[in-house]
Amino acid sequence: MIDPLAWLILLPLTWAAIAFLLGPTRGGRIAQAGIALQLVLALWIATEVAGGSSRQHAAGGWRAPLGIELLADGLSAIMLLLAQAVALPLALYARAYFTDHPAGIRHFWPLAGFLLAAMNALFLSADVFNLYVTLELVGLAAVGLVASDSTAKSVAAALRYLFATLVGSGAYLLGVALLYGTYGTVSLSELAPLVEDAAPYATLLAAGLMVAGLMLKTALFPFHFWLPPAHGGAPSPVSALLSALVIKASFYLVVRLWLGLLMPVAPPAAAQLVGMLGTAAIVWGSVMALRQPRLKMLIAYSTVAQIGYLFLFFPLATHTAPDAAQSALQGAAMQAVSHGLAKAAMFGAAGVVILSTGHDQVARLGGITSRLPLTVFTLALSGVTLMGLPPSGGFIAKWLLIDGAISSGQWWWVIAMIAGGLLTAAYVFKILRHAFLEKEQSATFRRLPRMLEWPAFALALASLAIGLRASDLLRVLGAP
């Protein structure tokens, strides 16, 4: 009757188009209703997957290799759940934010709808060419959102982002072309056994192109140059969506391809190299975050650093013992989820600060503790997750990654992670230290609608609580 897979894609496509027709005010209402329904569908899929049954769907009724297949397994289910769970509070937040500060609202809802549809389609697709189309959709939607307040700064950031994402998907597409030329199919399920049996050089080249293209889209160091201006310069609801979800989409795809297709041909040295880039990202992103005078730029650089942890998955899971690979995957998934929740909360809180004080200079945050206590609490809680302190989701994530590093005998990644944790603590405490200072004489605060602070706080709380319910999440992931 109701197939959650198909509806998770069709529902946001439909409400995006309708929101375009209706305009921002009524569009916002229909968007919230749509996202709420999507969350129910995603929960449904996750429960089913945790129960041990994965779901398939053959678009057009044609099975692979002729048609395009959709597939929901544990990893897809978690990502789908994350996307809808972050999107719902952000939708509430965005309505309050744009009511107060209407620049950039005009096409926000249709763009956000297409973005969600594209990400859901990406998480569900099992066809490398279809994945290319979803990647382009995600990229163009994100660029449109970055440009939405259309100032010189944000337009330049959007354009830089657009070129990066186009080069990334171009490399991915060339990889798809090589795979099709080699094997005659673009279906992941058909490709997997073929790649394992025989891998000519073209396959290796395709693997390199696809992974490199996706790393560019995920902004892994040294491809991170486009991220801070794009995420730091966009309106806050947009920054939250981009930092929490959009980069996770391309990261998910690298993991999906690596696990499902490319691992047999991947040389271990390549995985070590990716891990080293991840480490460099952790260090560089954190140091740069520490040096930023503006709160949103600080948070954006923190994203660059947190992406680094995600990529530690590759050396830990490539040609290592099954239990090490298992904890690496669990750790990466936990990191994606907890960072998604915490970062959405942080950008949300930064937006509150900007609307209330009119600026986001870290050095002038003094006094916000007494005026915006909930927002400071939000920043602190999400900081706990980013640092990886117990009982947060970030703690479980880093603990699982460290477990994977130790059981695969690669202790050097443990050093990287601990150093990263300390650096994270440094920039989180920098924010809090300034927040707890006395109010400056000149500082003014505006009263804000309540629906602005609470969704961000809920997200921060969720990023902490997910650590307590980690076993449920891992059960969804662990299912075949």
Which residue in 25, 36, 40, 184 binds another protein (CB under 8 A)? 184
Which residue in 77, 117, 249, 431 binds another protein (CB under 8 A)? 117
Q: What is the 3-state secondary structure (H, E, C) of 183-234?
A: HCCCEHHHHHHHHHHCCCHHHHHHHHHHHHHHHHHHCCCCCCCCHHHHHHHC
40 counts as binding another protein under rule CB under 8 A: no
Peptide bond into 391 cis (omega under 30): yes
State how far the Cα of 377 lies from the Cα of 226, in Å rounded to an integer: 30
Q: Where are the alpha helices (DSSP H) in 291-321?
A: 295-311, 313-317
Helix (H/G/I), strand (E/B), else coil: 101: coil
190 counts as binding another protein under rule CB under 8 A: yes
Which part of the chain contacts another protein (CB under 8 A), choosing from 5-13, 315-323, 405-413, 471-479?
A: 5-13
Residue 175 or residue 394: which is nearer to another protein going by CB?
A: 175
The helix (run of H) or strand (run of E) holding residue 474 is: helix 470-478
409 counts as binding another protein under rule CB under 8 A: no
Residues 8-37 that bind another protein (CB under 8 A): 9-10, 13-14, 16-17, 20-21
State how far the Cα of 333 lies from the Cα of 477, in Å rounded to an integer: 8
Residue with tokens 């795809």: 253
Residues 293-332 that bind another protein (CB under 8 A): 293-294, 297
Residues 195-224 that bind another protein (CB under 8 A): 198, 200-202, 204-205
Per rule CB under 8 A, count of chain residues that contact another protein: 81
Min. distance of Cβ 143 from another protein in angstroms?
6
Which part of the chain contacts another protein (CB under 8 A), choosing from 130-138, 340-348, 402-410, 463-471?
A: 130-138
Alpha-carbon distances of 241 from 49, 213, 230, 236, 283, rounded to whole Å? 26, 21, 12, 9, 24
Which residue in 163, 411, 412, 429 binds another protein (CB under 8 A)? 163
Which residue in 30, 75, 162, 246 binds another protein (CB under 8 A)? 162
State how far the Cα of 319 lies from the Cα of 321, in Å rounded to an integer: 7
Residue 73 or residue 149: which is nearer to another protein going by CB?
A: 149
Which residue in 42, 77, 147, 344 binds another protein (CB under 8 A)? 147
Alpha-carbon distances of 193 from 187, 188, 208, 261, rounded to whole Å? 11, 9, 19, 8
Residues 83-112 that bind another protein (CB under 8 A): 106-107, 110-111
